[in-house]
């Protein structure tokens, strides 16, 4: 598989939203109809807090924005809650006429620079707004996972089972440097999750971050795109027969930084989806989405 880059399709500077001043990061695509997709993402307000917006696009003409959310689809959590300093979308599941939006809640840290854990909200109005299912994280700290870095869930309702791949902190090297890999969890209802610390993607030498898993199931094979970082993020790729045990095949990701421009230093937070037998990839570039969201299309 090879990818053809189409450039930036969502530029935060062109949104004209007074509550988004910078960034469009961690894109999540949700199919609406025909060739129309809703792309959820987070922008940052004047206080540098992440808030969730959406843009509707025609995937055949992706640079043209059809609709933009006028207000955040999910507000900040109550003061003192796990998501009172920002919310970022991570994954969306359509289930029984509801949309389950799994998201990342942000807290400022003290001894460490941040706490980021996963939450869940649900929409019954087509995704124009979401309400929290719980005021607490769905992946809180445990004895085996004691750090507030259980986040970035990718969730599939797979053959009657809820399955999750998520980012899990393993240590803080110092105040500004966490290390995290990708683990696995299961659920009976998509809300309460069972996890035993099973590692799906672990570090290679020199890496300190494995982030934003994106899993699709194709021809009975689980395929994951994810971000890995030593000094700067790149997009990796892995395959699995059962969703538990994975083989890294980063050389088959076939997408890398550009020679110049908005994604010439780093490339990360990919979201891969299929439409009419073709794969599409949304992703971020330099400075974690400061310039916006790019699109790449599968070349067969």
Q: How far apart are CA 261 and CA 251, in angstroms?
A: 23
Cα 143 from chain centroid (whole Å)? 25
Cα 153 from chain centroid (whole Å)? 7
Q: Which position has the token pair 């987070």?
A: 42
Cα–Cα distances (Å) from 133 to 101, 123, 128, 174, 188, in that order, read: 10, 10, 16, 33, 15
pLDDT value for 63: 86
pTM for this predicted structure: 0.97
For the chain (length 300 residues), average pLDDT per consecutive 10? 94 94 97 97 97 97 93 96 98 97 96 97 96 97 95 96 97 96 98 97 97 97 97 97 98 97 98 96 98 94
pLDDT value for 1: 79
pLDDT value for 174: 96
Domains of the chain: 2-299 (2.115.10.20)
């Amino acid at each position: 598989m090879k990818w053809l880059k189409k450039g930036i399709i969502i530029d935060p500077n062109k949104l004209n939203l007074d509550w988004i001043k910078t960034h469009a990061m961690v894109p999540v695509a949700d199919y609406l109809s025909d060739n129309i997709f809703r792309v959820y993402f987070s922008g940052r307000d004047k206080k540098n807090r992440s808030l969730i917006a959406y843009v509707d696009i025609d995937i055949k003409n992706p640079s043209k924005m059809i609709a933009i959310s006028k207000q955040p689809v999910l507000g900040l959590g109550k003061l003192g809650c796990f998501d009172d300093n920002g919310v970022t979308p991570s994954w969306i599941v359509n289930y029984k006429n509801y949309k389950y939006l799994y998201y990342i809640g942000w807290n400022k840290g003290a001894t460490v620079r941040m706490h980021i854990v996963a939450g869940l909200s649900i929409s019954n109005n087509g995704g124009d707004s979401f309400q929290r299912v719980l005021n607490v994280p769905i992946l809180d700290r445990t004895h085996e996972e004691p750090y507030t870095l259980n986040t970035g869930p990718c969730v599939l309702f797979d053959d009657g089972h809820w399955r999750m791949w998520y980012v899990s902190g393993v240590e803080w090297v110092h105040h500004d440097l966490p290390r995290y890999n990708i683990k696995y969890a299961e659920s009976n209802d998509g809300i309460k999750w069972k996890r035993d610390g099973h590692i799906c993607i672990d570090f290679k030498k020199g890496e300190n971050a494995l982030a934003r898993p994106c899993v699709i199931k194709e021809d009975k094979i689980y395929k994951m795109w994810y971000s890995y970082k030593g000094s700067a993020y790149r997009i990796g790729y892995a395959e699995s027969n059962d969703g538990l045990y994975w083989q890294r095949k980063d050389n088959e990701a076939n997408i890398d930084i550009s020679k110049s421009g908005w994604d010439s230093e780093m490339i990360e937070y990919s979201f891969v989806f299929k439409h009419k037998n073709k794969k599409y990839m949304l992703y971020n570039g330099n400075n974690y989405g400061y310039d916006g969201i790019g699109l790449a299309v599968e070349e067969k």
